[in-house]
């Protein structure tokens, strides 16, 4: 457990950043939280935190300002979303390299003890992801390099930047490659949501509006593995504490097709829906899953929350927000504050 430290969380207004802020705050740390989003768009906000709303961390001046007198830095910030956003906003995604680069420079200048970078499974070679139900991707599968265009290249480049700051300047860096993290307090509409949230929203709306059909991007046979947010936070902190200096998968190896994910959500919701497949929509790679052999070896840990359990929590939260319009604002802002 990290305790009694002054910790900077960049991207704290986002999904994973908000959950990480809550955990580290509850563990007895002082948190400095930054995000480019204005306050009303933060997914979670907490009292007893030094919050910096609408702060653009692509600006090195801001990075230098908030890294002063800090012990640890968690960089959870990037411009990203679901596959539709990633495929249509490559230049925007690439600009996140400025956040990581300027943070690393500032951490070197201000003597930061340890730095965490949140990478992604999108950094993996696309040629290894052309079939459904592929073998889980090992950390070595990132090279030879051919990641997702835009977002994936940004992540892979930033991983290398972290490595060289560790080699050249002695900054202790930890890098996690996240695999499709989902759960409550995340985006579930607007185009940036991932498949678990999108499907939960579509089936919730079908139930609320008594509709019998939902739209599915692609043929529904593409496969993924999904990691519940609580496991993500636990794995992140275990990696941060560890002596492992190479990028590490933080993901689930419970690989399912999108059609199977819909089946699971139908069971949770208590309704059945017809599926209208939109074959012209962005689909991403054909199959992707995490190989957790190294995760278990170096951290002596593995995820614990199975997909159906996590999807129930996610679906219930989204359904509740859709059926009680005023609840969304209340639950996005100042969620579960412990004074």
Tens-digit pLDDT profile for residues 186-203: 999 988 899 999 999 999
Distances (CA, A) of 75 to 48, 90, 223: 20, 20, 28
Query: How confident is the model over 130-151, as a mean pLDDT?
Result: 97
Q: pTM (2 decimals)?
A: 0.94
- Long-range contacts at 53-58 (CB < 8 A, ≥ 24 apart): 53/13, 57/10, 57/99, 57/102, 57/103, 58/95, 58/96, 58/98, 58/99, 58/102
**Complete domains list, the chain, with CATH:** 6-182+226-251+290-301 (3.40.50.720)
Confidence band for 1, pLDDT divided at 50, 70 and 90: confident
Find the catalytic residue in 72, 124, 151, 182. 151
Mean pLDDT of the chain: 94
Residue 315 annotated to the active site: no
Tens-digit pLDDT profile for residues 86-104: 888 899 999 999 999 999 9
Which of 174, 167, 166 lies closest to 115, judged by CA? 174
Confidence band for 327, pLDDT divided at 50, 70 and 90: low
Tens-digit pLDDT profile for residues 250-272: 999 999 999 999 999 999 999 99
Task: Report cis status (omega within 30 of 0) of the bond before 144.
Answer: yes
CB 120 within 8 A of CB 151: yes
């Amino acid at each position: 457990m990290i305790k009694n430290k002054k910790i900077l969380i960049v991207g704290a207004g986002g999904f994973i950043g908000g959950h990480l802020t809550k955990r580290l705050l509850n563990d007895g740390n002082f948190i400095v939280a930054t995000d480019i989003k204005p306050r009303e768009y933060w997914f979670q906000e907490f009292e007893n935190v030094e919050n910096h709303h609408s702060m653009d961390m692509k600006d090195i001046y801001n990075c230098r300002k908030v890294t002063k007198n800090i012990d640890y830095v968690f960089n959870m910030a990037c411009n990203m979303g679901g596959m539709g956003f990633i495929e249509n906003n490559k230049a925007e995604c690439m600009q996140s390299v400025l956040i990581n680069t300027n943070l690393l420079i500032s951490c070197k200048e201000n003597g930061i003890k340890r730095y965490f970078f949140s990478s992604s499974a999108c950094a993996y070679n696309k040629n290894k992801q052309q079939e459904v139900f592929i073998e889980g991707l090992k950390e070595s599968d990132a090279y030879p390099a051919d990641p997702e265009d835009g977002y994936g290249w940004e992540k892979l480049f930033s991983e290398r930047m972290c490595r060289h700051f560790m080699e050249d300047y002695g900054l202790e860096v930890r890098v996690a490659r996240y695999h499709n993290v989902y759960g409550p307090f995340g985006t579930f509409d607007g185009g940036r949501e991932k498949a678990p949230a999108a499907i939960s929203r579509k089936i919730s709306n079908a139930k609320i509006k008594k509709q019998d059909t939902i739209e599915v991007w692609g043929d529904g046979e593409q496969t993924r593995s999904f990691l519940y947010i609580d496991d993500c936070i636990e794995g992140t902190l275990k990696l941060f504490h560890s002596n492992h200096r190479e990028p590490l998968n933080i993901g689930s190896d419970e690989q399912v097709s999108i059609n199977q994910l819909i089946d699971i959500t139908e069971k949770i919701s208590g309704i059945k829906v017809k599926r209208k497949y939109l074959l012209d929509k962005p689909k991403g790679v054909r199959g992707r899953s995490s190989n957790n052999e190294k995760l278990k070896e170096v951290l002596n840990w593995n995820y614990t929350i199975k997909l159906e359990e996590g999807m129930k929590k996610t679906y219930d939260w989204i359904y509740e927000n859709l059926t009680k319009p005023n609840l969304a604002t209340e639950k996005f802002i100042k969620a579960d504050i412990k004074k």
